[in-house]
Amino acid sequence: MEKLIEILEEIEDGVDYENCTTLIDDGILDSLAIISLVAEVEEEFDVQIPTVEIVPENFNSAKAIWNLIVRLQEEG
């Protein structure tokens, strides 16, 4: 999860990713940030994020993103 936080901080610095649960709802991450995040996560964690998984529920918090990564790795 530490590497995920680093990726998020590169995309949008100054956010409390450990505790924030409204990254999408509050507009902290916009569509361009999500595209960058998906590309970085796919490369770093060797997963493919299907388009159907790119929904607010999976990207509203670092924990939700991490859970998505773990699930995709397990399904992998």
Pick the CATH number of 2-75 from 1.10.3720.10, 3.30.1370.60, 1.10.1200.10, 3.40.50.1950: 1.10.1200.10
CA 44 from chain centre, in angstroms, equals: 12
pLDDT value of residue 24:
97
Q: Is the pLDDT of residue 76 over 90?
A: no
Q: Is 54 exposed, middle or buried (0-12, 13-18, 19+ CB in 10 A)?
A: middle
Tokens of 44: 């770093």
Q: pLDDT per residue over 12-41, tens digit each? A: 999 999 999 999 999 999 999 999 999 999
Q: Output the pTM of the full model.
A: 0.95
Q: Would you kindly state where each structural domain of the chain is located, as residue ranges?
A: 2-75
